[in-house]
Chain A
Amino acid sequence: MIRVTAVSKQYAGGREAALQKASFEVRKGEFFCVLGPSGCGKTTLINIIAGFVKASSGQVLFDGKPVDGPCRDRIVVFQEHNLFDWMSVAANVEFGLKAKGVPAAERCRIAGEFIDLVHLKGFETAYPASLSGGMKQRVALARAMAVDPGCVLMDEPLGSLDSQMRERLQLEIMALWEKTKKTILMVTHDIEEAVFLSDRVALMSKAPGGISEIVNISLPRPRTAAVKATPEFQKLKRELSEKIMGDR
């Protein structure tokens, strides 16, 4: 579905490359995580796949076609709060549908459905400024899913949340994925998060980042929070952190 081939990025004025020959493939319907330390080029990678940034070399194919510019088939959920502050929760979720040309009544129905899915029923008329960080990210997730994209690209969507909220939203993202069957590509620096959510995890090396290895996460599904306590989970976690350490 997404095929990244030897993608590198050298920003004009950047001292060294932000991304070095990254290659991997994300399959349709898969939950794929890219795990890497801070500053290794995760955001750069997401921006290139989304089409916001042009790769210096290499290519990204989406459904067999080269990516040139952003497209509503690849919706990004950013790390930072990226809602429209002047729109209510419902209007935010409806925005993508409006851009798509969906009639108002239909928009309202679909938005309601997704607001329900992220457990924000009753907050339709609230403005982002009155929501907690976790609620804001839920709105962003609902907004992304509502337009029925081919895949959702997540740039550390839980990065700014406290650990409790993080764990809750991990479960919600998992539930959303199981219900919508969307392809999800998520970048994160959190090993536990990557292992818990993913079918496969790509390890990114320290800056300048490239993909050093891809690890299968064969934990059975559906997964609940309880899986984190199992020896298999702990073993995978240890394995990944050793690989990341070994990379230094």
Chain B
Amino acid sequence: MKILKKALPFFAVLLIWELLFRFGLLNEYLLPSPLSVAKAGLALAGSGELFLDLFASVKRVLAGFLAAAVFGLTLGTLSGYGRSLSDAIMPLCEFLRPIPPIAWIPIAILWFGLGDNPAYFIVFIGAFFPIFINSYWGIRESRLMHLNVARNFGASRFLVLTDVLLPGSLPRILHGLRIGLGLGWTSVISAELVGAQSGLGYMIQMNRVMLKTENIIAGMVTIGLAGLLMNYLMLLLEKRLLTWRKDTLRSAETAEA
């Protein structure tokens, strides 16, 4: 029932789209019918081409995301905990953050050439900031009450970090990771539009040159579906790790009922 409700808007869009096409209101070169997009998608999938591009993009996003996660979490946690470090690096971060990942593409190509390396870099840039900022604020906004309790019991700084600050800010950290992965995914596509010879971004760009609109849209649909899946997996992970939260406890109860 719930899944039906979620799928309904998709069907509605497809239906309207198909109807507009049937009534001849769409130019086939600008927007082909959903059916021909589906056919093109199946053909691309059947030949394996689509999966090669998908894997190339996924590989890049995972590598860049992993590096951003390790780096962003460490730096965010340390600067959330230590005042002097955050005083030193926050202004720099706030200066770099508004520069969008795509604005880094020219310099990335100059530095790393074409292929995987500039894409890793661009994904890193896109994913790093949400991960860093959210783990920083997660630690920084830990409730004073909890810190006082820990201090009262004479907990060491290390115990405070591992048992109080980190688990307490885990909701925020996981949120940052999910946003980071999403931004990493959009970044890898932009990077591939200009700086790669494989991947979904490269694929839709090439099909523009060849004027194969149905392939472009099939590629875009794949990008959207992959992003949807990644987001879903991250949400699943959040649910698994945050069993203690009120909303998780609630939803577990309603699921049982």
A residues bordering B, Cβ < 8 Å? 50, 52, 70-72, 74-76, 78, 80, 82, 84-88, 95-96, 98-100, 127-130, 147
Of the A-B pairs whose beta carbons lie under 8 Å apart in the complex, a sample of 9, sorted by A's number, is A70-B151, A70-B152, A76-B152, A98-B155, A99-B155, A100-B153, A127-B243, A129-B246, A147-B153
Specify the chain B residue showing the minimal Cβ separation from A146: B153
Determine the chain A residues whose CB is within 8 A of the CB of B154 once the complex forms: 70-72, 99-100
Determine the chain B residues whose CB is within 8 A of the CB of A96 once the complex forms: 153
CB < 8 Å: which of A52, A86, A98 contacts B159? A98
- Is the CB of B22 closer than 8 A to any CB of chain A? no
Determine the chain A residues whose CB is within 8 A of the CB of B164 once the complex forms: 84
Judge whether B145 and A99 touch: CB under 8 Å: no
**How many residue pairs at the A-B interface have CB separations less than 8 Å?**
68
Q: How far is the CA of A91 from the CA of B170 in the complex (A)?
A: 17
Determine the chain A residues whose CB is within 8 A of the CB of B244 once the complex forms: 85-88, 127-129
Determine the chain A residues whose CB is within 8 A of the CB of B148 once the complex forms: 52, 70, 76
Q: How far is the CA of A100 from the CA of B159 in the complex (A)?
A: 11
Specify the chain B residue showing the minimal Cβ separation from A147: B153
Judge whether A98 and B163 touch: CB under 8 Å: yes
Q: How far is the CB of A97 from chain B (nearest CB, A)?
A: 9
Q: How far is the CB of A154 from chain B (nearest CB, A)?
A: 13
CB < 8 Å: which of B151, B163, B249 contacts A127? B249
Judge whether A75 and B153 touch: CB under 8 Å: yes
- Is the CB of B245 closer than 8 A to any CB of chain A? yes
Determine the chain A residues whose CB is within 8 A of the CB of B155 once the complex forms: 95, 98-99
Most buried by B among A52, A72, A85, A88: A85
Q: How far is the CB of B165 from chain A (nearest CB, A)?
A: 11
